[in-house]
Amino acid sequence: MSKKTVRDIDLKGKKVFVRCDFNVPMDENQNITDNRRIVSALPTIKYLIEQNCKIILCSHLGRPKGEVKPEFSLAPVAKELSKLLGQEVLMAKDVIGESAKSLASSLKEGQVMLLENVRFHKEETDNNPEFAKELASMAEVFVNDAFGTAHRAHASTEGVSHYLPSVSGFLIEKELKFLGDALNNPERPFVAILGGAKVSDKIGVIDSLLEKVDTLMIGGGMAYTFFKAQGYGVGNSLCEPDKCELALSLMEKAKNKGVKLILPVDTKIGKEFKPDTESKTVAWTEIPDGWEGFDIGEKTIEMFKNELKNAKTVIWNGPVGLFEFDQFAIGTNEIAKALAELDATTIIGGGDSAAAVEKAGLADKMTHISTGGGASLEFLEGKKLPGIECLQDK
């Protein structure tokens, strides 16, 4: 279902409320350590400036849980945005209070303002209709460009759509295009790589992808539940014993669908959960008691890379090892390098996989890096995202 974007309605000179995702990481001195999400919002904001709109930006940052907490202020974002846009972004001191409303009412064409953290009000996550109405009262059109929160029905992502004509920005359009095309019309062979800690987080995704992909590779902590399900010991590795039946049924489903389900054949294990722990590589069937699996081994890396060589569409969600520790980041880095060299559509599904690709310095070699971890997972699962459902259809 295609949704209207900012291109599809007349916005000239209008007051526009834009939900962005400026939930960026900061250090203890409030310095932004990764501005990728801010940069992703620029095409939409610049387009609205060209249309002489009066632009009211809104976002959350962190989890202040409905309280005003200075460490979660969006002021550093306003500063960064001003620099990137080459014009001052006015910063409101509140969300729906006097400061926000007077700034909004005095905006001139082409001016940009940013509301304070919308999650300073618990009404935001409650999707309170009165609060949504207050937000909407400042503008004439709603633009949602926050893919990272599109799976949440909050006041600023879904609630405001009940009071204003609502369309998507360019970032959401791009996310829907890449993720949608990959799922519904992939160039084949279509390969998915799933990592991360738990099978339970990805049940729906595995289930949904088995209907669509040619090959599914599984790494990360979730692989150990599949090992356990086949009767092998996993030592102290991450494992969900209550999901063993499910793991077997997913393997069975893959077989029935003719999907190649590839699990690691060896694993790099460590004694303790710390960066410099003693480590060694063993076959997946031979993890000793007291040891913990932290990465895929060399044979698995080669096997995964071979499988990727002919791929034409690849979706990767979740690192295949504990990439935060250098000695267990090898598998994840090797996968990232292999994808960077492919002549294929490569889509990284947000969250930790995006962080891993960034850390490896290969982000610009990927076709698309999703800005939404949870949202891209739910999209891959085939769920409807409230922040997108609420937008006008073309």
Q: Which of 159, 321, 351, 387 is catalytic?
A: 351
Alpha carbon distance 269, 129 (integer Å): 51
CB burial readout 206-225, b (16+ within 10 A) else e: bebbbebbbbbbbbbbbbbb
Q: Which of 198, 299, 305, 312 is catalytic?
A: 198
Provide the residue type at 287 as one letter: I
Alpha carbon distance 283, 260 (integer Å): 20
Q: Which of 37, 54, 212, 228 is catalytic?
A: 37
Q: Which of 62, 66, 110, 374 is catalytic?
A: 374
Alpha carbon distance 72, 62 (integer Å): 6
Q: Are 269 and 282 in contact (CB under 8 A)?
A: yes
198 is catalytic: yes
Provide the residue type at 155 as one letter: A
CB burial readout 123-144, b (16+ within 10 A) else e: bbbebbeebbbbbbebbebbbb
Alpha carbon distance 87, 202 (integer Å): 43
Alpha carbon distance 235, 238 (integer Å): 9
351 is catalytic: yes
Q: Are 349 and 319 in contact (CB under 8 A)?
A: no
Alpha carbon distance 218, 149 (integer Å): 26
Active site residues: 37, 198, 351, 374
